[in-house]
Amino acid sequence: MFRFVVRRLLVTLPMVLVVITLTWALIRLAPGNFYQGERPLPPGIERNIRARYGLDQPWYVQYGKVMGNILRLDFGSSLRFENETVNDILRRTVPVSASIGALAYLLALVVGITMGTLAALRQNSATDYAAMGLSMLGISVPNFVLGPILVLVFSLSLYWLPPARWGGFPSWNLVLPVLTLSAVYTAYIARLTRAGMLEVLRSDYIRTARAKGLTERQVVVRHALRGGLLPVVSFTGPALAILITGTVVVERIFAMPGLGNYFINANLSRDEPLILGIVAFASVMVLVFNLLVDVAYGFIDPRIRY
Amino acid sequence: MTGTKTARLLTLAASAALLLSACAPQIGKSQFFGKLVPPEGQVLRYISGSELESLDPQMSSGQNEARINIAMFEGLTEYNPKTLEPIPAIAERWTNNSDASEFVFFLRHDAKFSNGDPITARDFVYTLRRGLRPELASRVSFMAWDIKYAQALNEGRAFVRDPKTGRFVLASEATEHGGAGEAAAPAPAKAGVEGVPDTDFNRLIHEPERLTVPFDEKERAKKTKASPKLAGLIAGKELVPVRPEDIGVEAVDDYTLRFTLRQPTPYFLGLTQHQFFRVIPEKVVERYGVNWSKPGNMVCSGTHMLAEHKPYNQIVVVKNPYYWDAANVHLDKIIFYPIEEQTTMMNLYKAGEVDATYNHSVPASWLRAGLRYSKDYMDAPENGSQYWQLNTKKGPTTDKRVRKALAMSIDRKALEGFRVVSKAMGGFVPDGIIPGYKGPPGFIKPDVEGAKRLLAEAGYKDASGKFDPAKFPANELEITFNTSESNRQVAEFIQNQWKQNLGVTIALRSVETKTYFGMRARLDYKGIAAGAGWSGDYMDPYTFLGLFVTEGGDNGTGWFDPAYAKMLTEANHEADRAKRFQMLAKAEEYLLDNAPVIPLLKPATSWMKKPYVKGMYPNPGTLHAWKFVYIEHDSAKWDQGMPDMTTPELAD
């Protein structure tokens, strides 16, 4: 197990560097630049800007500088936000995105697993249909539709909850974004749990457990769920990585100062250091969470050993 | 099976709920939109637009930054809350010489920074010299290029001096010999402002304009290659880089500030309102460098000072106790919310979590649903212009007749009806905005027959000499626009008009915004760049007309005409405002006749303000001098519609 983890971690670094290099190249290939706006800049001013940000140097010098900085874990200053370093921005925005994402996923896990398990236990009953119907709805209603509906009901008609903005952690402002974000994950998890449970409930070891005279509760919680949740576990890795690195739509609808908001704007404004910083962070997250999932497999599924 | 049925039913129910909610946004005539509970005390919560690029007034270029900079920094002049005309601020009064090439400002003696330090003329000199340093790389420094040698400093140029005699080569020497490519402006009037002490600097700056050349060797080589005359002038001479001390800004004494300009600039007062001219504290900037504008470090000169900056969340400014007119500043606190989604803004507004929003913040669908009839909806004509640009360097649009024909064959009134709040516009300068200026009618009346005649003249005709759409190379043109729903709608509308009126179908092409800006700057588009808009920087037609005097045609169209530039220069030499405006109107007519642009619409400001927010007016730039704004807690005095804009008083 230890060797497996070390090996995977060693692969992570070059992979992140490859991702960063590709991103860097893509930004360079993309037309437009960070300073060009509605009014074409006078050439003299454009020259000043290019000199200040080192854009007048050959590409390999610029690339070397970027990579050198990144290896020192310093992504430099944002181009659009003049006196902010990328590290500052990450430090400030990751907690926002992570708290919304983690809460949403936690909610999705609790509700999704409960719904999925109930549906599997009472397959083809009204409970099953209701649970699966709801989850179908959760999957098919995109969050940019669900968010405004929730706002319309809870903020603009009932005036119960704030319609947008970050209010710190914890605060009432979190309720609607978390609900909006969790819907689709709840739905997926419910369906994955149901499918996994149905398969496991028919397997031999469950029959053995029942034959041993265990209560239904013990059978489900101690034996069936462990195997039935494997699909959910593999789904969790990438899902959590995506949630923590910011969810563009929800952050925009609810005006949350999270990473997703920065990421979309960094791309639109060709803010190279910020894009690279966020991409690097996101890829590390994806790789780490996938690793965690693989490790978790070893604990959950007795058949898997590293 | 039943599972999917239930799901279908539920989906149907949800869509029905959505539809119902969309159709009934509870907006009636004669009422206000959403909650009407004023915040406690004198606090304003304002949606200011996108997150700021910088809090440094000399670095930021947008109006979203301007709105916040107005609170934190004051300049020589301030915006009149209703008309945006310059009113006294740190300068109590000002005067200029006969041809508006020299301005002197007399500063009040009691102006202070938020740390208690006095604000003097020297602070303004520092502010401008710093803003124009090439190392700072400000994007808006061109706002101050009318100051003598400011452009030369900003572009890193150098004077040319004879090492033997110590004499500087003059700009006129380069042009007299037949155009060295370095066009010199006409020399300003010799007479400066009377009654202000003469100084050594003043005599020096009034000497005939010196020649400046790029200090950078490569750049200089380009120029000398293009002009052997210039090469001859430079040969054997030494180059003296233009220093910040060389520009035409002088602190005559602590409270007298003199600007010497490179040419008559009748609109100069309007420039002094811009954030680039707002004063910053030298000590603090020099101490903290780029971090001077962070909370904790920043020292302000405006009605308010920075208390908190949480990007993408909020900027809080509180009343500046040292502000010279603090007794008349009502708001104790302003909270700016940087938000980009229109729907989110409206949600917050309706829920009563914000008190006012910036311009163009109301979604078109909400306006159509009736929000425009709400009493707290602010709809006023804007000092802005929406137009399309034409590529005058490539393709069929190189022909002036084609450009004009395209502009003539659009029914702008129909377009106005199709849009919600924008108004049809035939000229390039929005009409009825700048007091006293009456531009030409331009293309306001469609003239399809005339357009066809022009196209036939351009060679696209059949045997009988009539315009033949089949001959027109429509495939060499494309309506390129930056992706946005509103741009697409306008583009489709006009595409259809050309199809109906001329029988010509021009394809649409949607590109991402930065890509679009890049394409347009390089003139790398096929014929038509759709989706330009310009908001005037100051209340003068020149803010629009001046867009087309950039040498080399850096205006997205490639069009540059010395005759046009001359017309504008001559107009700016005219001291009489009415006469000058007539001359500018002539220049506008000339511009429209050459049609590098297709003017389309005059935008409306379109924003929301709760009735208890007073002293905030739907002015043509949606720029508010915050000192006049206050929260009225007595509901009997609340606004019942758009506030009165006709009374001359600054505050009600």
The two beta strands, B333-337 and B478-482, are unpaired
DSSP type of residue B627: G
Question: How close A212 comes to chain B (CA, Å)?
Answer: 35
Q: Which of A254, A58, A85, A287 is nearest to A173 (CA)?
A: A254
Comparing CB atoms, the residue among B141, B313, B339 nearest residue A45 is: B141
DSSP type of residue B308: E
Comparing CB atoms, the residue among A32, A42, A255 nearest residue B341 is: A255
Task: Report the mean per-residue pLDDT for chain B.
Answer: 90
**φ, ψ dihedrals at A165, nearest 5°:** 85, 150
pLDDT given for residue B554 in this prediction? 74
Single-letter amino acid, residue B3: G
Comparing CB atoms, the residue among A41, A84, A140 nearest residue B139 is: A41
| Residues B266 and B540: beta-carbon distance below 8 Å | yes
* Residues 466 through 525 of chain B touching chain A, CB cutoff 8 Å: 512-521
Comparing CB atoms, the residue among A42, A162, A269 nearest residue B554 is: A42
Q: Which residue from B minimizes the CA distance to A267?
A: B514
To which H or E segment does residue B630 belong? strand B630-631
Helix A272-300 / helix A59-71 crossing angle, nearest 10 deg = 40
The pair of three-digit structure tokens given for residue B386, joined into one six-digit string = 């929406």
Res. B10: pLDDT tops 70? no
Q: Which of B264, B247, B221, B265 is nearest to B152 (CA)?
A: B247
Distances, alpha carbon B359 to alpha carbons A147, B60, B427, B603, B621, in Å = 25, 18, 23, 10, 8
Report which of residues B154 and B29 the model is more confident about: B154
To which H or E segment does residue B357 belong? strand B356-357
Of the pLDDT bands very low, low, confident and very high (cuts 50, 70, 90), residue B24 is: very low
B551: how many CB neighbours lie within 10 A of its CB?
Answer: 12
Residue B56 at interface with chain A, using a CB cutoff of 8 Å:
yes
E-only strand ranges, B247-293: 249-253, 256-260
Region B268-284 average pLDDT: 96
B493: how many CB neighbours lie within 10 A of its CB?
Answer: 16
Rounded CA-CA distance B608/B357 in Å is 6
pLDDT given for residue A225 in this prediction? 87
Residues in B closer than 8 angstroms to A145, CB to CB, are 18
Q: What is chain A's alpha carbon radius of gyration, rounded to the nearest angstrom?
A: 24
The share of chain B scoring above pLDDT 70, in percent, equals 92
- Judged by average pLDDT, the poorest of A234-248, B71-85, B213-227, B518-532 is A234-248
pLDDT given for residue A42 in this prediction? 86
Residue B15 at interface with chain A, using a CB cutoff of 8 Å:
no
- Judged by average pLDDT, the poorest of A290-294, B108-112, B245-249 is A290-294
pLDDT given for residue B187 in this prediction? 53
Cβ–Cβ gap A81/B51 under 8 Å: yes
pLDDT given for residue B178 in this prediction? 44
Q: Which of A132, A154, A156, A259 to mutate to test the interface with B (most CBs of B within 10 A)?
A: A156
This complex has an ipTM of 0.87
Res. B216: pLDDT tops 70? yes
Of the pLDDT bands very low, low, confident and very high (cuts 50, 70, 90), residue B477 is: very high
Cβ–Cβ gap B344/A253 under 8 Å: yes
Region A83-105 average pLDDT: 91
Q: Which residue from B minimizes the CA distance to A165?
A: B313
Cβ–Cβ gap B518/A80 under 8 Å: no
Rounded CA-CA distance A9/B295 in Å is 40
Rounded CA-CA distance B388/B48 in Å is 27
- Judged by average pLDDT, the poorest of A295-299, B18-22, B334-338 is B18-22
Residue A106 at interface with chain B, using a CB cutoff of 8 Å:
no
pLDDT digits (tens, 9 = 90+) for A29-88: 888 888 887 777 888 898 999 998 888 899 999 999 888 888 888 888 888 887 888 999
Residue A105 at interface with chain B, using a CB cutoff of 8 Å:
no
Helix A2-29 / helix A59-71 crossing angle, nearest 10 deg = 150
Rounded CA-CA distance A280/A18 in Å is 10
Comparing CB atoms, the residue among A149, A255, A265 nearest residue B344 is: A255
Region A153-165 average pLDDT: 90
Cβ-Cβ contacts under 8 Å for A50 (sequence gap 6 or more): A56
Rounded CA-CA distance B20/B153 in Å is 61
Distances, alpha carbon B508 to alpha carbons B431, B461, B490, in Å = 29, 25, 11
pLDDT given for residue B37 in this prediction? 92
pLDDT given for residue B182 in this prediction? 43
Per the listing, tokens 């509605």 go with A38
Residues in A closer than 8 angstroms to B555, CB to CB, are 40
B528: how many CB neighbours lie within 10 A of its CB?
Answer: 27
The pair of three-digit structure tokens given for residue B608, joined into one six-digit string = 């929301």
pLDDT given for residue B176 in this prediction? 56
**φ, ψ dihedrals at A99, nearest 5°:** -70, -40
Q: Which of B524, B493, B499, B497 is nearest to B511 (CA)?
A: B524
Of the pLDDT bands very low, low, confident and very high (cuts 50, 70, 90), residue B346 is: very high
Q: In chain B, what is the greatest distance between 2 CA atoms, to the nearest angstrom?
A: 100
What dihedral angle (degrees, nearest 10) is formed by the CA atoms of B244, B245, B247, B252?
140
Cβ-Cβ contacts under 8 Å for B598 (sequence gap 6 or more): B387, B388, B389, B390, B403, B406, B407, B410, B443, B528
B76: how many CB neighbours lie within 10 A of its CB?
Answer: 26
Of the pLDDT bands very low, low, confident and very high (cuts 50, 70, 90), residue B30 is: low
Q: Which of A188, A198, A223, A183 is nearest to A118 (CA)?
A: A198
Question: How close A133 comes to chain B (CA, Å)?
Answer: 4
Rounded CA-CA distance B173/B229 in Å is 10
Query: Terminus-to-terminus CA distance in chain A, angstroms?
Result: 5
* Residues 245 through 284 of chain A touching chain B, CB cutoff 8 Å: 252-258, 261-262, 265, 268-270
Rounded CA-CA distance B90/B529 in Å is 42
| Cross-strand bridge partners of residue A74 | none
Query: Terminus-to-terminus CA distance in chain B, angstroms?
Result: 68
Q: Which residue from A minimizes the CA distance to B49?
A: A255
- Judged by average pLDDT, the poorest of A97-106, A133-142, B8-17 is B8-17
Of the pLDDT bands very low, low, confident and very high (cuts 50, 70, 90), residue B407 is: very high
pLDDT given for residue A306 in this prediction? 67
| Residues B139 and B152: beta-carbon distance below 8 Å | no
Residue A129 at interface with chain B, using a CB cutoff of 8 Å:
yes
Residue B6 at interface with chain A, using a CB cutoff of 8 Å:
yes
Residue B555 at interface with chain A, using a CB cutoff of 8 Å:
yes
Of the pLDDT bands very low, low, confident and very high (cuts 50, 70, 90), residue B9 is: very low
pLDDT given for residue B652 in this prediction? 53
DSSP type of residue B398: G
- Judged by average pLDDT, the poorest of B88-97, B225-234, B402-411 is B225-234
Cβ-Cβ contacts under 8 Å for B13 (sequence gap 6 or more): none
Rounded CA-CA distance B438/B415 in Å is 23
pLDDT digits (tens, 9 = 90+) for B507-518: 999 998 888 988
* Residues 328 through 387 of chain B touching chain A, CB cutoff 8 Å: 337, 339-341, 343-344, 347-348, 350-351, 353
pLDDT given for residue A237 in this prediction? 84
Question: How close B629 comes to chain A (CA, Å)?
Answer: 24
Residues in A closer than 8 angstroms to B350, CB to CB, are 156, 163
The two beta strands, B102-107 and B507-511, are unpaired
pLDDT given for residue A82 in this prediction? 77
* Residues 36 through 75 of chain A touching chain B, CB cutoff 8 Å: 36-45, 47-49, 51-53
Cβ–Cβ gap A268/B514 under 8 Å: yes
Residues in B closer than 8 angstroms to A155, CB to CB, are 347, 351
Residues in A closer than 8 angstroms to B514, CB to CB, are 30-34, 36, 268-270
pLDDT given for residue B177 in this prediction? 47
Res. B5: pLDDT tops 60? no
| Cross-strand bridge partners of residue B334 | B44, B317
Distances, alpha carbon B196 to alpha carbons A229, B95, B191, B451, B594, in Å = 85, 10, 12, 57, 45
Of the pLDDT bands very low, low, confident and very high (cuts 50, 70, 90), residue B474 is: very high
B640: how many CB neighbours lie within 10 A of its CB?
Answer: 10
Cβ–Cβ gap A83/B290 under 8 Å: yes
Q: Which of A39, A81, A85, A264 to mutate to test the interface with B (most CBs of B within 10 A)?
A: A39
The pair of three-digit structure tokens given for residue B25, joined into one six-digit string = 């946004």
Rounded CA-CA distance B81/B90 in Å is 16
A168: how many CB neighbours lie within 10 A of its CB?
Answer: 10
Comparing CB atoms, the residue among B6, B151, B337 nearest residue A133 is: B6
3 state DSSP class of B381: strand
Rounded CA-CA distance B632/B638 in Å is 7
B240: how many CB neighbours lie within 10 A of its CB?
Answer: 15
Residue A128 at interface with chain B, using a CB cutoff of 8 Å:
yes
Residues in B closer than 8 angstroms to A76, CB to CB, are none
pLDDT digits (tens, 9 = 90+) for A9-21: 888 888 889 999 9
Res. B399: pLDDT tops 70? yes
Region A283-299 average pLDDT: 86
Res. B110: pLDDT tops 70? yes
**φ, ψ dihedrals at B276, nearest 5°:** -60, -30
Of the pLDDT bands very low, low, confident and very high (cuts 50, 70, 90), residue B441 is: very high
Give the length of chain A: 306
